Chains A and B, each alone.
Chain A
Amino acid sequence: MIHKGLILAIEGLTKSYPTGFWRKPVRVLSDLSFEVRENEIVGFLGPNGAGKTTTIKILNRLAFPDAGKVTLFGGQDQGGADVRRRIGFMPEQPYFYEYLTGGEFLRLCGQLCGMSCADTESRSSELLARVGLSGSRDTAIRKYSKGMMQRLGLAQALLHDPELVILDEPMSGLDPMGRMEVRGIIRDLKAAGKTVFFSSHILSDVEALCDRVIMLHKGRKVAEGRVEELIGAETLYIELVVSPVLTHDRLAAAGIPPDAGYAQGALLVLRAPDNGQANRWIAGLLREGCTILSCVPMKKNLEEIFMERVGSSGATGAAS
């Protein structure tokens, strides 16, 4: 990989929240360190309560760490207007002034980011169209649905054309179309040379989008790396889908053990341990007059890696 500029570096981040007057504070983040490089898409994973939102809040100076350091764009005044202008942020379950309309809200955001009126107008029209809210520009935010809020949250994060985009669960609460659109937006950001850091519970999206993932559990980093590296190259098994469903006798005649698969409606799903077996099974199945519908080598996916790393140490919640 070409060595690219460091956009975000976190070193030894530690954070506790007070739980009450007498009791000991709870540790939410313990010595968390990671980096995000220019033009990367980095996924931030972890079960509920792992500390993802807390980390993201610290990045946006909405909370302050007990120890550790955050460096943005290679170390300037972290809270300074110049640094903030280069960052776009969407909080989890974003909420806006309900007495404003979507258009008015974006205008306010533009003003706060120091954009000119004309700029704000053209960017908001463009982004509202991109997130599918063009028709709701003049609707009061009070009347927005949950998914529409989420879409507006994305629009405001991108309004000032930031270099680093930080999104906290951008896909939650969206319909399948919306999720696809958000995936498209994130890909476009990368194509435009931006850097994206987002947390998510939807592992298939993370797997499809991210260059790298960071997994968090109970405030500690449990895995980090490129998606391909984490998933690994080895094939777990080969999945065959055939039709029709065969009886046990005919399966045995084709040389397949009866516990190698299961019926799913009118289809039979079989798991062959390796390529040689799969080939022999296919020959047998063809002899029995079956149709082979698909033959797919299955690799470990991110979900299994996640379960492995997180489940073993006693997860507080599973991925949804």
Chain B
Amino acid sequence: MFRRIFSIAANTFRETIRNKILYAILAFALFVIGMTFFLADLSVGDFARIIADVGLASIHIFGVIMAVFLGINLVSNEVDRKTIYILLSKPVRRFEFIFGKTFGLSVTLLLTTLAMATVLFLVHFSYRYGGRAEVGIFIASAGIYMELVLLTCLASLFSTFTTPVLSAIFTLSLFFVGHLTNYLYVLGEQSKGTAVRWGSRFLFYLLPNLENFNWKNEVAYGGLKSFSILGWAAGYLVAYAACVLCLSCLLFARKDFK
């Protein structure tokens, strides 16, 4: 079982790194991160902080673009092109397929995020005024990466039952909502009606809380020093992603292919 999941993951990894559009997005992202070097010159204040700030925001945005772009096509491409016929007629269970595809894309995203983070780290380090080796950039990027993995799982969940365009819309909506669930909770708690309170609590726990992975501000203000926060977020990621993947597998298990 693990060998088959691994083979499918390796093949997905190969598929994504042979994708020219991914390189275009990555090149553009690296360009933008590089440009922060000059951006800092144009503004006033703590220059090095601005580099970290803008750079991490770029990693976040481009990472989400990559995750959504690759994630929505992850399953639907195989179904549309009928390549899945051959895969599933082999001794491959459908859940092995879903897990393999998702793991493969996660590895690709790990490499792209690492590349972006490294460039940002170097830009930040080599900056004239107050540049330093900021480990926090890697910690914040790890948070971003975890968020991307979660988005990938969600995108592949949607792509098991809708078209790529709708999957993209759903995934992006969850991305925005996922960053606002804390507000939802606070707003809900202020409400008078018990039903509303319970409803908002329910949504708070149901929707992904992507702010759990957001340490960008702490890094930019130099406040984040500990790695333990990573462990907690990783636990949340594993639990949430496992639920999403299991749901995908359930939806996929008895699907008829056209």
Is there contact, CB below 8 Å, between A108 and B11?
yes
CA distance A87 to B90 in the complex (A): 8
Where chain B touches its partner, the secondary structure class is helix
Contact at A99–B18, with CB atoms within 8 Å? yes
- Among residues of B, the one whose C-beta sits closest to the C-beta of A112 is B90
Q: Is the CB of B83 within 8 A of A60?
A: no
B88 lies within 8 A of A60 (CB): yes
Check if A60 sits within 8 Å of B254, measured CB to CB: no
Given A97-B11, A97-B15, A108-B11, are A61 and B4 also a contact pair (CB < 8 Å)?
Answer: no
| Residue from B3, B82, B84 having most chain A Cβ neighbours under 10 A | B82
Residues on A with C-beta less than 8 A from B93 are 79, 81
B235 adjacent to chain A (CB < 8 Å): no
Task: State the CA gap A82–B90 with chains docked (Å).
Answer: 10
Most buried by A among B7, B89, B92, B93: B89
Contact with A along B1-15 (1 / 0, CB 8 A): 001100110010011
- Find out whether the CB atom of A96 lies under 8 angstroms from the CB atom of B89: no
Least distance between B171 CB and chain A CB atoms (Å): 24
- B90 partner, pick from A17, A84, A94, beta carbons under 8 A: A84
Residues of chain B within 8 A (CB-CB) of A221 are none
- Say whether B15 contacts A87, CB under 8 Å: no
A120: min CB distance to chain B, Å: 11
CB of A57 within 8 Å of the partner chain:
yes
Whether the pair B256, A111 counts as a contact (CB closer than 8 A) is no
Q: How far is the CA of A97 from the CA of B26 in the complex (A)?
A: 23
Instruction: Give Cα distance in the complex from A114 to B2, angstroms.
Output: 11
Question: Interface majority SS on A: helix, strand, loop or mixed?
Answer: loop
How near does chain B come to A265, taking the closest CB pair, in angstroms?
A: 46
B227 within 8 A of A: no
Which parts of B55-112 form the interface with A (CB within 8 Å)? 81-93
A112 touches B14 (CB 8 A): no
Docked pose: A63 CA to B256 CA in angstroms: 4
A43 shortest CB reach to chain B, Å: 20
Alpha-carbon gap, A153 to B122, bound state (A): 49
Are A114 and B257 interface neighbours, CB within 8 A? no
How distant is the Cα of A80 from the Cα of B15 in the complex, in angstroms?
27
Contact check, B91 vs A99: say whether CB atoms are below 8 A apart. no
Q: Is A262 an interface residue (CB 8 A)?
A: no
Determine if A62 and B14 form an interchain contact, defined as CB atoms under 8 angstroms apart. Answer: no
**Those of A106-120 within 8 Å (CB) of chain B:** 108-109, 111-114
CB under 8 Å from chain B, chain A span 183-231 = none
Contact partners of A79 in chain B: CB under 8 A: 93
The answer to whether the Cβ of A237 comes within 8 Å of any Cβ in the partner chain is: no
Would you call B11 and A95 a contact (CB within 8 A)? no
Q: Determine whether the beta carbon of A64 is less than 8 Å from that of B88.
A: no
Inter-subunit contact B88/A91 (CB<8 Å): no
15 A-B pairs in the complex with CB atoms less than 8 angstroms apart:
A61-B88, A62-B85, A79-B93, A82-B91, A84-B91, A89-B86, A93-B82, A97-B83, A100-B11, A108-B11, A109-B90, A111-B3, A111-B7, A112-B8, A113-B91
* Complex A-B, nearest 3 residue pairs according to Cβ-Cβ distance, in ascending order: A81-B91, A89-B89, A84-B91
Given contacts A57-B85, A95-B81, 16 further A-B contacts (CB under 8 A): A62-B85, A84-B91, A94-B82, A95-B82, A99-B14, A99-B15, A99-B18, A100-B11, A100-B14, A111-B3, A111-B7, A112-B90, A113-B90, A114-B4, A153-B86, A156-B86
